[in-house]
Chains A and B, each alone.
Chain A
Amino acid sequence: MSHAMNNDKLNKHFWVWPIACYLFLGGLGGGILFFAGLFDFIFAPMIGSSIGSVFALGIFIGVAALGIGSFLLVFELGQPFVFLRVFLSKTAIIKWGAVLLSVALIFGFVYFLFYLPPEWNLFYYSWTWIRDICCAVMMVTGICVVLYTGILLSSFKARAFWNTPVLPVLFTASALSTASALLAVTAGLWPAPEFLILGGFAAVPMHDLSEIFVEYLHLIDTVLVAFELVVLLVYVVMMYAAGNNTARKMALQWLRGSFAPLFWGGLVICGLLLPLFFYLSGGVLATIIAPILVLAAGLLLRFMVVFSDVRRPIPGEERFYSRLPKGDETFLFANDSKSH
């Protein structure tokens, strides 16, 4: 008999690490597909060639993030084999999340297949219209997945610290920021070819081309990180100042309670201020360290928010749940027959 019983329905976390990772990976993967699609959409007409290969590795990681995220979501379920029923629902937000995520994943993956090394000469490489459709679809569904990860939590009226329109903004900023960080570190790496043929004639070294995009991405991420910092502070301070008692208690825990070291040290300083400073100072700090910090902070943020699932207690509930047996009391099993 398992003794891992938790009767405290008030402080119990029904969603734990798989959901936190799912929200992080969903935002990261969706953001990557969005940015990769957007760049291709903007620059391909300008230079006369698809620039998807610059981000090939990033796109692959984005697709993998979506895949792992969905695996975690399903793995976390109580009865995973019932999962396909999700597509029957009409109203549930989580259904839209599942649909958007599946579409983004499939189209992102097909798009990626076009950027396998050119020397492999796969038969479909010339079907560029398929690639362009995939590009458009993954861009749109990608940003929708990003928005969905924030909207999901903010839709719970019963959870005071989640139920605010600031949360989707914060999650969107964080997701896009992690996505641009990841695209920046992986730009131009395998399976990108060494040279990209522009408009059918000039061959440009991948290294030079990716440097241009990395610069753009750093600029974008600098803006996003600065924006995220403001939104994060607004979120927590607003919860403290304008939230109800339940939200205020949670905000205090972030500002100077048990979450404070993670909040100030992990999120504000290491996750946002340092990367901001590193991006502005340039060099290896900007190309490697800052993106890693941004990614780590994105994951930390999801964990902290998911574990801030406070519900307003009905008067007397706190007392009741704190007094229930934990499951290891001998009296509960005193009459169990001993098995041989």
Chain B
Amino acid sequence: MTRYAMVMDQRRCIGCQSCTVACRTWNDLPLDIIFNPIVTEGVQGIFPDVHASYTPLICMHCDNPPCTICCPTNASQQDEDGIVWVDSSKCMGCKVCVNACPYGARDVSALDPFLKSFVRKCDFCKDRVREGEQPYCVATCHQNARIFGDLDDPNSDVSKLVNGLGVTTIFPELGTEPQVYYIPDLGGAK
């Protein structure tokens, strides 16, 4: 079995947003849609002990996704390998799933033509990864802060990182079982 997952190494991310731009280009996104922003709370601490830490976001491809069971048209779906995606031809644009996602990973564009507006979200570049390639954001990250792979393969980078380091997830208490893991930044510690 394959279970795709991503690890965000916050020690490495420098907040350059190359991945954000790459994603827009690869997926040809309208101007008001962003799948994978890099957020930061800004510079923390008092000079000279200052640091900034960046949080790369993306759809968490949850193991227990609240966004698929609520979809009345089955347009939102999860494949065997864990990838959660929207079939745009089946989506009626009711936005139930947008309200259901706790991570803001879904959106509709105001720039879509009238009566042709549907929900867009990251699909881990499923067309690429099923051909053995990396998602475009991962391939773009020059700091190797985004690491992608098969969690069920004990030799993959992601499974070594997830099983070996103290990784965290975002809002684990919601029970969504997000499959994007974070290696926290050292937060200015020496």
Q: B34 in the interface, Cβ–Cβ < 8 Å?
A: yes
Q: Does A78 contact B74, Cβ atoms closer than 8 Å?
A: no
Complex: chain B residue closest to A19, CB-CB? B95
Count residues on chain B whose CB falls below 8 Å from chain A CBs.
Answer: 49
Q: Is B104 in contact with A10, judged by CB distance below 8 angstroms?
A: yes
A129 on the interface (CB 8 Å rule)? no
The SS class assigned to the A binding surface is loop
Interchain CA distance A308-B102 in the complex, whole Å? 15
Chain B's closest residue to A4 (CB) is B110
Which B residues are CB-close (under 8 A) to A325? 31
B99 close to A158 (CB less than 8 A): yes
Contact, CB under 8 Å: A94 / B111: no
Complex formed: what's the CA distance from A159 to B95 in Å? 13
A5 with B111, Cβ < 8 A, contacts A158-B66, A319-B41 known: yes
A126 interface hit (Cβ, 8 Å): no
Number of A-B residue pairs, CB cutoff 8 Å, is 140
On whether A77 and B94 interact (CB within 8 A), knowing A94-B70, A95-B72, the answer reads yes
Cα A152 to Cα B33 in complex, Å, equals 26
Is B72 in contact with A158, judged by CB distance below 8 angstroms?
Answer: no
- Contact of A315 with B41 in the complex, beta carbons under 8 Å: yes
Residues of chain A within 8 A (CB-CB) of B26 are none
Q: Which residues of A in the span 309-334 have a Cβ within 8 Å of any Cβ on B?
A: 309, 311-312, 314-317, 319-320, 324-325, 327, 332
Q: How far is the CA of A76 from the CA of B111 in the complex (A)?
A: 16
**A96 vs chain B, min Cβ distance (A):** 9
Q: State the interface size on chain A (CB cutoff 8 A).
A: 47
- Residue in B closest to A315 when the chains form the complex, CB atoms: B41
Question: Is B74 within 8 A of A88, CB to CB?
Answer: yes
A78 touches B39 (CB 8 A): no
Cβ of B90 within 8 Å of any chain A Cβ, yes or no, is yes
Interface residue ranges, B against A (CB under 8 Å): 31-32, 34, 37-42, 54-55, 57, 66, 69-75, 89-96, 98-104, 107-108, 110-112, 115-119, 170-171, 174-175
Per CB-CB distance, the 8 closest pairs between chain A and chain B, nearest first, are A78-B93, A316-B39, A78-B117, A158-B102, A92-B72, A82-B92, A85-B73, A320-B39
